[in-house]
Amino acid sequence: MGKVAVAFAAAAVLVSCSVAAVMVGRRIKSRAKWRAVVEILKEMEEACRTPVGRLRQVVDAMAVEMHAGLASEGGSKLKMLLTFVHHLPNGTEKGTYYALHLGGTYFRILRVHLGGERSYLDVQDVERHPIPSHLMNSTSEVLFNFLAFSMERFIEKEGKESNSQGVKRELAFTFSFPVKHSSISSGVLIKWTKGFEISEMVGKDVAECLQGALNRRGLDIHVAALVNDTVGALSLGYYHDPDTVVAVVFGTGSNACYLERTDAIIKSQGLLTTSGSVVVNMEWGNFWSSHLPRTSYDIDLDAESSNPNDMGFEKMIAGLYLGDIVRRVIRHMSQVSDIFGPTSSMLSEPYVLRTNSVSAMHEDDTPELQQVARILKDLGVSDVPLKVRKLVVKICDVVTRRAGRLAAAGIAGILKKVGRDGSGGITSGRSRSEMRMQKRTVVAVEGGLYMNYTMFREYMEEALVEILGEEVSQYVVVKAMEDGSSIGSALLVASLQS
Ligand SMILES: Nc1ncnc2c1ncn2[C@@H]1O[C@H](COP(=O)(O)OP(=O)(O)O)[C@@H](O)[C@H]1O
């Protein structure tokens, strides 16, 4: 071999050595990046842990806050609002009634016809539309004109042969935001939540605004009741099953109401009702306790939201927020590692990842996780390997598991307050034999998150059994109420007439 050939051979060896070294270096780097990502997941999992001991602390805190909110105005972050609902529909109602429901994402209109027997409940013409997003930060006039216009179109479709023609229509306005009631049919908006921002509306009478808009359109419709969506769900639950004492909504936001004894409402001493009880709208989205497992992602989400330092519990458990928590974790991982490829600017867009997509990824049962790949692609993250897709599923699981378990702790907190958790209420303990006398208790549940996200529902129901124990759980029935908020509100109006 000549000198030149030897030099080439030596250079070739050197080049292949350095290529190998670069490849090894890259592998080490990518292993380090993977480790960094796994570390983020581990930290997040740790911060989201909800062992049953911690859940029980949340249960106790919920019951304590409920007491405080009933004791004095402003005594707790839980407003514990009186709804002026003393009687719930019992099945004897008759006639045709309407409901118009303004939720966080959807508005719905429907008509129910009641024949005076529980079995004769005919729900007709349910319309459900997304709320046009520009309305959420428009003016009260624009918002209510739109609702009145939608109501007018609904009625026009009834046609001339409708049996309610020529008769004043009785309407329930189901309103999923906090209201301070002065009667069952009037109340002022306390604040907006769930991304709505029409500040001049705060302090105005909500039913009056709708009635005014209906009158301006010349519609012969009477706003007979202003009903929180949870109270609607409770009404439908009670109509079907009088053991229903609690209702919870898990949709865009989250809230709960329950039947309380009037003598337990210290802040309204002297409140008398013929039934001896009243429905209390807890506005539990604003619940807070140091026992809630909060992460840096929750803190950032809150700080960047339209209502910082507000609705802390809702921001951990409700549909509007779960997607955004998952997005924040993915974005953090994409900042410390290139496992998601070049950082997509879409990942920085708040609320771009919806909770519907989180459930689609979480429940993706295709072998290659094609749903996950498709949703990530929509976020500008293409061609990620299977192990990264699995990691995303894990993030969805951690966030939703925490949400479901905390939701269960909230429900158990209410059961504790009303003495239906097997412990005999907040102050006294009970013997085993007394526990056997536990009353059957139905919890009516509704909302898009609960109805459509199976894993959320399963985690919630599993944790409820864990908290209450097998024995007491036998007496607690969780019942889904599809469209319960709207149907139940119409039933409530019917019960006011009978
Ligand atoms: N398939 C789904 N998976 C997860 N969450 C869902 C799903 N479908 C709906 N949701 C959640 O439920 C919310 C809608 O809740 P819903 O009770 O129907 O309406 P609203 O809150 O407007 O009254 C959506 O914004 C979303 O957060």
Helices 3-47, 386-417: inter-axial angle, 10-degree rounding: 10
Total residue length of the chain: 498
What tokens appear for 164 in the block?
Answer: 């309610």
CA of 410 to the centre of ligand 1 (A): 19
For residue 432, the model assigns a pLDDT of 53
Q: Which atom of ligand 1 is nearest to the CA of 131?
A: 22
17 CA → ligand 1 middle, Å:
57
- Dist CA 307 CA 52 (whole Å): 30
How far, in Å, are 59, 175, 187, 269, 277 from residue 71 at the CA level? 19, 26, 21, 10, 16
Task: Set out the domains of the chain in order of their start, with CATH numbers.
Answer: 82-240+483-497 (3.30.420.40)
- Cβ–ligand 1 distance for 448 under 6 Å, the answer yes
- Whether the CB of 103 sits within 6 Å of ligand 1: yes
3-state secondary structure of 244: strand
Contacts of 46 (CB under 8 A, 6+ apart): none
Tally Cβ neighbours within 10 Å of residue 57.
15
For residue 446, the ligand 1 atom closest to its alpha carbon is 17
What pLDDT does 429 receive?
A: 44
> Pseudo-torsion of CA 124, 130, 134, 136, nearest 10°?
80
State how far the Cα of 195 lies from the Cα of 382, in Å rounded to an integer: 30
CA 52–ligand 1 middle distance (angstroms)? 27
Please state whether beta strands 169-175 and 94-102 pair in parallel, antiparallel, or not at all (unpaired): parallel
Residue in 282, 336, 347 with CA at minimum distance from that of residue 311 = 282
Q: Which two tokens stand for residue 28?
A: 């080490």
Q: What is the spatial distance between Cα 124 and Cα 118, in angstroms, rounded to a whole number? A: 16
User: Nearest-CA neighbor of 372 among 317, 426, 330?
Assistant: 330
The per-residue pLDDT for 348 is: 93
User: Does the Cβ of 399 fall within 6 Å of ligand 1?
Assistant: no
Q: What is the mean pLDDT of the chain?
A: 91
CA angle, 198 as apex, 196 and 201 as ends, to 5°? 120
Pocket test for ligand 1, best of 128, 177, 252 (most atoms within 8 A of CB): 252
Q: pLDDT for 63-81, tens place per residue?
A: 999 999 999 999 999 999 9
Task: Take residue 172 and report the two structure tokens written for it.
Answer: 């329930």
Q: Using the 8-state DSSP alphabet, how is residue 292 labeled?
A: S
DSSP secondary structure, 354-407, as one string? -HHHHHHHHT--STT-HHHHHHHHHTT-----HHHHHHHHHHHHHHHHHHHHHH
Q: What are the C-alpha distances in Å from 337 to residues 21, 185, 331?
A: 21, 56, 10
pLDDT for residue 270: 75
Q: What residues of the chain score a pLDDT lower than 70? A: 1-28, 159-166, 424-437
CA of 194 to the centre of ligand 1 (A): 12
Are residues 265 and 70 in contact, defined by beta-carbon separation less than 8 angstroms? yes
Query: Using an 8 Å Cβ cutoff, are 484 and 228 in contact?
Result: no
Instruction: Specify whether the CB–CB gap between 96 and 111 falls below 8 A.
Output: yes
End-to-end CA distance of the chain: 110
Q: How many CA atoms lie within 13 A of 435 on its CB side?
A: 17
- For 172, other C-beta atoms within 10 Å of its C-beta total 32
Separation CA 223–CA 144 (nearest Å)? 13
Residue with the smallest CA separation from ligand 1 atom 23 is 103
Closest-lying ligand 1 atom to the alpha carbon of residue 101:
23
Q: Give φ, ψ of 251 to 5 degrees.
A: -130, -130
Question: How far apart are alpha carbons 486 and 111 in whole angstroms?
Answer: 9
pLDDT at 13: 52
Query: CA 245, 251, 255: angle at the middle one, nearest 5?
Result: 40
Cβ of residue 105 lying under 6 Å from some atom of ligand 1: yes
**322 close to ligand 1 (CB < 6 Angstrom):** no
Q: Are 352 and 327 in contact (CB under 8 A)?
A: yes
Residue 310 DSSP code: S
Ligand 1 centroid to Cα of residue 36, in Å, is 33
Q: For residue 162, what pLDDT is reported?
A: 55
Atom of ligand 1 nearest to the CA of 106: 22
For residue 338, give the amino acid letter.
Answer: D
Residue whose CA is closest, atom 24 of ligand 1? 252
ipTM field: 0.99
- E strand intervals along 152-287: 169-175, 179-183, 186-189, 221-227, 244-250, 254-261, 277-281
Using an 8 Å Cβ cutoff, are 55 and 405 in contact?
A: yes
